Amino acid sequence: MKNILVSQPKPAVPEKSPFYEVAQKHHVEIGYKPFIRVVGVTLKEFRSQRIEILDHTAVIFTSRSTVDSFFHICEEARITVPETMKYICQTEAVALYLQKYIIYRKRKISFADGSFTSLVEQIVKHKEEKFLLALSEPHKPELPETLKTLKLAVDPVILSRTVAADLEEVELDKIDLLALYSPSDVKALIEKFGTENLPPIAVFGEGTLRTACEAGLTVVANAPTPQAPSMVKAIDLYLQKVAKGETIEPVMPVVDSEKEEFIRTQQHKLAKKSRTRRTTTATK
């Protein structure tokens, strides 16, 4: 095990990256190369989706790229976003990024901790709003499907697209492990190199794992898990096993029963509150 390629931009200061510690610990070379890039949709593409921004009272953002595209579309279409618009973000980093376009006020901006369950809980807290769900294509279907299941007023809209980066300089025959962060990374890899004679794969995220396995790729490490909350830790554990000569079984997707139970719980809470409101109204 000598060379690892990470599908992310090179850190501004590589020595401060957690990957640097792994490289020093296991005596491996770690290179960086984004496999994808994100581009905003055009105004024409946005309008073809027949979505009216001003018909909504809250916007859900899961990435900074959709924030950029949202305000670019508003500017190009000469739409003035009202100060009453609320914003719900998947992480604090995305919420703070809104300062590039608006004055940050806690009463209209809320954020989750990055997890699916935390984001859904934040949205449910504002269940009376009419939501615009800003998405990048491709995206995980679980969030729009869950919000639909919960019968919230949500309109999904594609604001950016993920396209493959130029991978001409990548020499896979010199790579011993690939670290991929998204299903789009997997698709860009296959589009360029096919599925044969690829190095072992480490993946981040349930969707990336599923996409890689469905394509027949050999996944040897994955995150986040209780043992490996980060990609860095997953690779560290994998390299420890390699050094010890342990047999490494391929990683396969598993059913997330906790997530399914969470969705059922949220459905029950919303249904209970709806019944309470109807009962109160009838009594009056």
pLDDT above 60: residue 157: yes
Please say whether the beta carbons of 65 and 94 come within 8 A: no
- What DSSP state is assigned to residue 150? T
Measured distance CA(74)–CA(79) in Å, rounded: 5
Which pLDDT band holds residue 46 (cuts at 50, 70, 90)? Answer: very high
> Cα–Cα distance between 221 and 200 in angstroms, integer?
9
pLDDT at 255: 65
Cβ-contact 116, 89 below 8 angstroms: no
Amino acid identity of residue 161, one-letter, is R
Interatomic CA distance for residues 187 and 238, integer angstroms? 23
CA 178 vs CA 7, 54, 211: distances in Å:
8, 43, 15
Output the pLDDT for position 274: 58
pLDDT(284) > 60: no
At residue 30 the predicted structure's pLDDT band, cuts being 50, 70 and 90, is: very high
Kind of pairing between the strands at 36-40 and 154-164:
antiparallel
Distance CA 137, CA 160 (A): 6
